[in-house]
Chain A
Amino acid sequence: METIMTIAALKIVGYGLGTIGPGIGLGLCGYGLCVGAARQPEMAGRLFTNALIFGALAEALALIGFVLTFIF
């Protein structure tokens, strides 16, 4: 019982650690989008599309962590 609880707790801690990087990455992605759109508003549409692609890439790591908590 104790071991099971420890593993369950470690999974959650591991997922929490795994979200730090993607969190920073997504923040930078949004920052870049806002700054770029403020400087060149006519580019906002294309920047938004690119921001989504890179946001999805950064988010992938967090989502893999989310899946791993279910697998193991």
Chain B
Amino acid sequence: MEGLTGNPLADIVAPIEELSESFNSAVVFQLGPWSISQYTLWMFIVIVLLVAIVLIAAKKITLVPKNKFASMVEYGYDAIRRNMGEGAIGHGYEKHMPFLATLFFFILLANVIGLIPGTKTATGTLSVTWALALISFVYFNFYGVKAKGGWGYIKAIAPHGLPKPMVPVIWFFEFFSLVIRLLTLAVRLYGNMFAGHMILGIFAIMTQVFVLDAILFASPLTALPGVVWFLFIFIMYVLECLVAFLQAYVFTILSAVYIGLATGEH
């Protein structure tokens, strides 16, 4: 912290710029022709962890649950099966379960790992969330076309039983809402994770600047807001833990709902 002026409001400008720069996709290392950014690196770490967790749990699985770790993973999978499979897709949900479970656990693990100080949230960048949303988008359109046939799927975008002249108008709106799903899925996850970490960072900077100013310029009163910001970090951190779970849940259940809409009868 160089060049402190003693005025906390002037001192926070430089660290906040530094903070927003730290959210850019900085290249960590080169892998042949590809540059691996910090977010991609953490995405790979999450993938490796996820595969390891599932493989270890799968090895320990028994008919009568004995192992606590395996039971935990089994319970998580079962919760998704009940909530998202049966609840949102309904009939014929069984074949979509691997996709939904992978999606949920990948996003959950990426979000939770990002909460550990010193790590990066893989889902905190648009590139990763675009990829996830694109996978989901292609998946539900593919199964929609498979279930209804190409022309049938296009027709089924507009709900059944409308008066004839209204069909093109409603079809257009429904089509727009269908295409916009790609954007909203990606941006919802990205916005929540990015904004949450930005707020945590800003609160940390506030604490640091206020406390440092109080120590360096011997004005104890300046430290008071610092203490309040410090408490705010804890509150926000608890909220972020909730958001990390909630966003994984929302992304997956929306994918499940879209699959259900695409494959089911309108």
Residues of A within 8 A of B (CB): 45, 48-49, 52-53, 56-57, 59-60, 63-64, 66-67
The majority secondary structure among interface residues of chain B is: helix
Query: B187 and A49: CB pair below 8 A?
Result: no
Given A45-B87, A64-B183, are A59 and B257 neighbors across the interface (CB < 8 Å)? no
What 1/0 flags go to B243-266 for Cβ under 8 Å of A?
A: 000000010011001001100000
Residue of B nearest to A60 (CB): B184
For chain B, which range describes its interface: under 10, 10 to 19, 20 to 34, or 35 or more residues? Answer: 10 to 19
Interface of A is mostly: helix
Q: State whether the Cβ of B188 lies closer than 8 Å to any Cβ in chain A.
A: yes
Partner of B188, one of A49, A53, A57, A59: A59
Q: Which residue of B lies closest to A66 (CB)?
A: B191
Picked from B87, B177, B184, B250, the residue with its CB within 8 Å of the CB of A49 is B87
Q: Is the CB of A63 within 8 A of B177?
A: no
> What distance in Å separates the Cβ of A22 from its nearest Cβ neighbour in chain B?
11
Q: Is B206 an interface residue (CB 8 A)?
A: no
Binding site for A on B (CB under 8 A): 87-88, 177, 180-181, 183-184, 187-188, 191, 250, 253-254, 257, 260-261
Bound-complex Cα distance A53 to B180 (A): 13
Asked if A52 and B188 make an inter-chain contact with CB atoms under 8 angstroms apart, the answer reads no
Contact call B187/A53, Cβ cutoff below 8 A: no
- Contact in complex: B177, A57 (CB < 8 Å): yes
Please pick, from B180, B183, B187, B254, the residue contacting A52 in the complex, using a CB distance under 8 A.
Answer: B254
With a 10 A CB-CB cut-off, give which of A48, A52, A56, A67 has the most chain B CB atoms. Answer: A56
